[in-house]
Amino acid sequence: MTTRTRTPAVPTRPSGSVIEGRTDGKGTALLVDSLATRPKAERQSVRTLAVVIPAYNEGLVIGSVVLQARQHAGCVIVVDDGSSDRTAAIARLAGAEVIEMPENSGKAKAMMAGFARARELGYEAVVMLDGDGQHDPAQIPAVAAPVLAGEADLVIGSRFLDIKAEIPKYRVAGQKVLNGFTNLSVDGGTFATTDSQSGFRALSRRALENLNFSSEGYSIESDMIAHFAPLGLAMAEVPISVTYDVPHKHKKNPVSHGFGVLARIVGLIGYKRPLLSFGIPGVLVTLFGIGAEIYTFSEFYRSGQFHYIVFTGGFAALILGLLLLTSGLILNSLVMITRGSEPSKEHTL
């Protein structure tokens, strides 16, 4: 897959000059970054920070998102994931560096392309946020602060730490389910997320160097957490606000989106914790089968009636449970052998 990257030409201006925001005759608000008026420490943090924004048919709002993000970052990278509108052109006019994917490849591939570019440019920290306007770019400094201070490698902007917006009930319920399964997939560490699907987060240089995992579509947020935890990367959360009153709300049906992410997480749990995903169900099914058999024979000795259906179901459950339990034990042994053959963390980080 090839991508095209264009860096917009930025006109130079004298040091210390400030171009005020103005409104042209057509009523288009022009926002210009005024770094010269900022404290020295803030200007230095801006130079070390890049923003990566995935966008798909976000021509209505991408310009505003880019202009606001540029006030807090040294570089804004927009990954146009095969849009059919003017997303790329508008983002470029707003001052972003644009990577154009040849076709719609999904959020995960778009984000990886953006991260690779930020890593290539040498930035020490990257903030990712959605291009549809749901996230407030003014909160970029708050999300990036723990990373820039060296306190965390991954910072997740959580919608549920300090809820300020009206979040739909179905999102809250679905998020709790996904949070639970994501936390189960984490192998190592004590971090438990309250917003596993948040697309507003910050990554340190160390995290950027460890993005060596595969992911598809909207699963990248959960995959990132599950991948970083066993590597010993520090993770934290900060509260953010969110708005759902945006022009392009759903790029995918929320139900199919949720089940797709859930299926991916369950598969990840099965890969990383086979005893949890196979062993525990195996024990439960085995106990059910044993109970059914005990009931069948106790009824036979008590009344002389033999319940063939209960006996057959119990026997099938007993066999299935033992197969699941055996599979869990075998897979767990393979996982332990694989981990034992991997280099230690000190050599991989």
pLDDT of residue 244: 80
What would the pLDDT profile of 30-72 be if each residue is shown by its tens digit?
Answer: 333 443 345 544 445 566 899 999 999 999 999 999 999 999 9
What would the pLDDT profile of 114-145 be if each residue is shown by its tens digit?
Answer: 999 999 999 999 999 999 999 999 999 999 99
Q: What's the rounded mean pLDDT across residues 176-196?
A: 76
- Residue 180, pLDDT > 90, answer no
Report the range out of 55-64, 164-173, 248-257, 270-279 with the highest average pLDDT.
Answer: 55-64
Give 238's contacts (C-beta < 8 A, 6+ positions apart).
142, 143, 145, 146, 155, 156, 157, 158, 161
The pLDDT confidence band at residue 192, using thresholds 50, 70 and 90, is confident
Among 122-126, 164-168, 191-195, the range scoring the smallest mean pLDDT is: 164-168
Q: Which is more confident, 304 or 154?
A: 154
CA distance 274 to 265: 13
Summary mean pLDDT of the chain: 79
Give 112's contacts (C-beta < 8 A, 6+ positions apart).
211, 215, 220
pLDDT of residue 160: 86
pLDDT of residue 15: 34
Q: Which is more confident, 303 or 24?
A: 303
Q: Which is more confident, 232 or 275?
A: 232
- Residue 346, pLDDT > 50, answer no
Among 35-44, 55-64, 302-311, 336-345, the range scoring the smallest mean pLDDT is: 35-44
The pLDDT confidence band at residue 249, using thresholds 50, 70 and 90, is low
- Residue 190, pLDDT > 90, answer no
Q: Are 73 and 184 a contacting pair, CB within 8 Å? A: no
